[in-house]
């Protein structure tokens, strides 16, 4: 995001790279090195590095399960209280409904162990989704999720009790493969997120509508 001047400019660079190996016909593993850096107002806001390991196993035809573990270390450019480790574990089940539709369900847990206990916490949640190709050249998908996060200690500036958040999210996307402009097809995505916190300052509701062009292969 680039504004006039640089006081509010917000730039992020991310990368993930690594090998994927087939152990047999049903099992694949992958390992990735992760890195990111964010600049805000011309200054380093956050730098992170870490890794991810993923195992995927093919069940009966049209079904797959996967487990992923990741960990990364964050260095904040604004406050040492946000320095520390972020770790996550994810378990996903995917199922082919028919030739063109795929459904998935994911359970996850995340842990932030930062220098400041008031910024550290644990989150558990789940996501469900279904998407694929529909008649008339339409690509569509619907997904939603819920999670709950509890922090380790109170931020005494706001409350005597540790903060607790309930988070909801949803997304609907629609693409038209039947319409082509220079080889690209139009798409639109609506996203919704809501956070209900025990500290009202952190209550948020966000709606986002994004238009794009997609190339289908």
pLDDT tens digits for 25-84? 899 999 999 999 999 998 999 999 999 999 999 988 889 999 999 999 999 988 888 999
Q: What are the beta bridge partners of residue 57? A: 27, 65
121-167 pLDDT, tens digit per residue, is 999 999 999 999 888 888 899 999 999 999 999 988 888 899 999 99
The pLDDT of residue 166: 97
Q: Is residue 148 within 8 Å of residue 167, measured between CB atoms?
A: yes
Higher-confidence position of 180 and 171: 171
Residues in the chain, how many? 217
Integer Cα distance of 3 and 12 in angstroms: 15
Which residues are within 8 A (CB) of 158 and not within 5 positions of it... i.e. 6 or more apart? 199, 201
Instruction: Output DSSP code: residue 178.
Output: T
Q: Is residue 51 within 8 Å of residue 42, measured between CB atoms?
A: no
């Amino acid at each position: 995001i680039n504004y006039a001047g640089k006081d509010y400019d917000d730039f992020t660079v991310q990368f993930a790279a690594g090998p994927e190996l087939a152990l047999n016909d049903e099992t694949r593993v992958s390992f990735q090195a992760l890195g990111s850096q964010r600049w805000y107002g011309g200054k380093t806001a956050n730098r992170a590095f870490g890794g991810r390991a993923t195992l995927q196993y093919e069940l009966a035809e049209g079904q797959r399960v996967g487990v992923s573990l990741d960990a990364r270390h964050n260095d904040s450019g604004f406050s040492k209280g946000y320095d520390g480790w972020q770790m996550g574990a994810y378990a996903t089940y995917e199922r082919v409904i028919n030739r063109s539709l795929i459904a998935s369900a994911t359970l996850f847990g995340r842990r932030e162990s930062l220098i400041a206990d008031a910024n550290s916490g644990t989150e558990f949640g789940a996501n469900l989704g279904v998407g694929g190709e529909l008649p008339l050249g339409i690509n569509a998908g619907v997904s939603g999720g819920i999670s709950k996060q509890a922090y380790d200690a109170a931020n005494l500036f706001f409350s005597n009790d540790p903060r607790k958040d309930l988070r909801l999210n949803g997304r609907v996307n629609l693409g038209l493969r039947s319409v082509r402009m220079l080889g690209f097809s139009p798409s639109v995505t609506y996203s919704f997120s809501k956070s209900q916190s025990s500290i009202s300052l952190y209550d948020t509701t966000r709606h986002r509508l994004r238009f794009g062009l997609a190339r289908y292969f």
